[in-house]
A and B are shown apart, each in its own frame.
Chain A
Amino acid sequence: MNQKTSFSSAYGWFIQRITGILLAFFLIVHINILHFGEKFFIDFNMVTERLQGSFWWGIFYIIFIPVVLFHALNGVWGLVQDYRPSSGLQKTVKAFFWTLGIVATFYGILAITTFL
């Protein structure tokens, strides 16, 4: 355990809590509208109508997507560390998670723009 790793873990721990607070808000809004609304069969028109109803929905998902991906991958990173992997494997997994997170963020935001 060198000092750099400790700093990285501390940031990860803190950002996990901040993203967790943000996700509580994002998820309650997202799930309440999509799963507890009157219409429960979701289709393209319904999603488009909702997202074009307010400019803020675009902003909502552009923030929500990277936040949820960071929280998810940082959380799985914690599980990976439970396994006590070698430093080489840690670097490989970390690089893979960062690549996956960045690609999925752009892909997710691109997917949302279809409805805007």
Chain B
Amino acid sequence: MYEKKSGIIKYYFDEWGLNKNIGTFSWLLHRLTGMILALYLFAHIIVVSSGLWGPESFNTWLKVVQTPLTHFLEIFLLACIALHLLNGLRIILTDLLFVTKQHKAIFWVAGAIFVLFMIVTLSVFLPRVFSH
């Protein structure tokens, strides 16, 4: 259990190969979306901190990050946030409210909320992508 892992990607594939179930899928998805969001967080802090050099600097940076491509990528970002947030709440519910036996049902409820959220997100963001 505690042996050193030679390849982290292989480790995740191996885990999936051993346990192809909802728990492993959501565990892998949580790690993947978490890593993407952690990287985005630091990029976000750097962009917002351009305000320290004045309004012109901030507005220049904001023009760079508000293009059709970035508005399209924001859909992907919001999908990552929603997946991580909903799965995170599922983990908290199962851990702290001791509803482990219901974790699969909670997974599908979270999945349904995710689909609804993405329908709203796409209806808001797709017009933005094409409005430039």
Contacts and interface: CB of A to CB of B under 8 A. Distances in A.
Nearest to B127: A40
Name B's interface SS: helix
A100 to B, nearest CB: 9
A114 B52 contact: yes
Interface in B1-22: 2-5, 8, 11-12
B11 A82 contact: yes
A58 interface: no
Interface string A33-60: 0011000111111010000000000000
B34 A76 contact: yes
Contact of A20 (B3, B78, B88, B128): B88
A84 B4 contact: yes
A43 B59 contact: yes
A35 B74 contact: yes
B38 A72 contact: yes
A60 B96 CA distance: 26
Interface in A1-26: 17, 20-21, 23-24
Interface of B: 2-5, 8, 11-12, 31, 34-35, 37-38, 41-42, 45, 48-49, 51-52, 55, 58-59, 62, 66, 71, 74, 78, 81, 85, 88-89, 91-92, 95-96, 124, 128
Interface of A: 17, 20-21, 23-24, 27-28, 31, 35-36, 40-45, 47, 68-69, 72-73, 75-76, 78-79, 82-86, 104, 107-108, 110-112, 114-115
23 contacts: A17-B92, A20-B88, A20-B92, A21-B92, A24-B85, A24-B89, A28-B85, A31-B81, A40-B128, A42-B62, A42-B66, A44-B58, A72-B41, A76-B34, A76-B35, A79-B8, A79-B31, A84-B5, A104-B45, A107-B45, A108-B45, A110-B52, A114-B51
